[in-house]
Amino acid sequence: MADGRRTAIRLADGRELIYFDDLPGLDRSRPDPRRLEPARTASQLRYDPVLDEWVVVAAHRQGRTNLPAADACPLCPGGPDSEIPAAGYHAVAFENRFPSLVGAPVPAPPDGPAGLRPGTGRCEVVCFTDDHDAAFSTLAPRRRATIGRALVDRTEELGRQPGVEYVLCFENRGREIGATLPHPHGQIYAFPFVPPRIARALESARRHRHRSGGCLFCELGAAEEKAGERVVAAAGDFIAFVPTAARWPYEVVIQPRRHLPDLAALGEAELAVLMELYADVLGRFERLFGGEPPAPYIACFLQAPVRADRDLAHLRVQVFTLRRAPDKLKYLAATESGAGVFINDVAPERAAERLRAAGG
């Protein structure tokens, strides 16, 4: 974004912060007034040979900020411990003060995974607005487009860092799913490995291409659009639908009809359309149960790995909530947590019907 809408500074402890503005020419030079010591972390990556997965051990995060009072929110401008020095801002990305992963990633040994590696990578926070009481779904289209450009910027820049294999952009909203700050924000993790669910999905895509020569995700999206009963909304070249085998009570996948690997592959106009459809879907989740309180949700931008299998991957946004009824949550009990078998209490067709009805 070399048009005056991007400004990078350093915080008092050396962490990088980048302002992303709706318009050029704003002064973002105010320094961080705090006295902070450089963060010290001791994360580890430990390999589980039974499930062939990496586990991040980040014991230092026990002391991270948790549900502070509104006047002590570190994402609001002007507070004594505000992470953002400017008196006001549009959108901001900065290195997390309590990261799970930090430092230059160490590539896996060429002869296979070792049992223990440093917990390297990068964790960033993305603030959507300086308005503490807003939500992504209530922002103006111009701001949502700015946030989209920020996600593209960070996807590209983090993907260029040596040793980074996967960039995950996501948002957790609501105390019920573990969000520790209510201020509207998302996060970005740059992993030194491809996360297991992504790797498994790509392996399924590989088998499908070997059998049929086509893209698994393209064909699933086309089949859902043709069937129609689980389609929630569409805009431009994007479709939003409830998966046939949805695991969560209310779950939506947003994806482009054409085969694209990641956010960076979208043109600016396409990116703006995606951000508007994403906001539409989030609004439907928030209104599902009358809107008070809004349904908690998790949203993940599922992109191609940085280097491997980019031709197999298909950009998707997954949004889901743990709430299955106004006063009931879906808990991951023995079958889900212990055996990995999800039991969904809401039929996907009924979920799609309710989400369609929740349109603004």
109-126 residue pLDDT tens: 655 566 888 888 999 999
Residues that constitute the known binding site for Zn(2+): 73, 76, 132, 183
Q: How far is Cα 54 from Cα 56, in angstroms, rounded to an integer?
A: 7
Would you mind telling me the total number of residues written for the chain in this entry?
360
Q: Which residue, among 82, 174, 175, has the nearest Cα to 125 in the 3D structure?
A: 82
CA angle 96, 100, 101 (to 5 degrees): 90
Q: Is the pTM of this model over 0.95?
A: no
> Which CATH number applies to 1-360: 3.30.428.10, 3.30.56.10, 3.30.10.20, 3.40.50.970?
3.30.428.10
First to last CA, the chain: 32
Q: How far is Cα 44 from Cα 106, in angstroms, rounded to an integer?
A: 11
Strand partners, 168: 189
The b-or-e profile of 22-36 (16+ CB within 10 A means b, else e) is eeeebebeeebeeee
Are the C-beta atoms of 281 and 319 separated by less than 8 Å? yes
Q: How far is Cα 216 from Cα 204, in angstroms, rounded to an integer?
A: 8
Classified as helix, coil or strand, 19 is strand
150-189 residue pLDDT tens: 999 999 999 999 889 999 999 999 888 878 889 999 999 9
Assess whether 185 carries a catalytic annotation.
yes
Per-residue pLDDT, 2? 60
Per-residue pLDDT, 67? 62
Q: pLDDT 10s digit of each residue in the chain, 360 long? A: 567 899 999 999 999 999 999 999 999 999 999 998 887 777 889 999 999 999 998 877 666 665 677 788 999 997 788 999 999 999 999 999 888 888 776 555 655 566 888 888 999 999 999 999 999 999 999 999 999 999 999 999 999 998 899 999 999 998 888 788 899 999 999 999 999 999 999 999 999 999 999 999 999 999 999 999 999 999 999 999 999 999 999 999 999 999 999 999 999 999 999 999 999 999 999 999 886 788 899 999 999 999 999 999 999 999 999 999 988 889 989 999 999 999 999 999 999 999 999 987
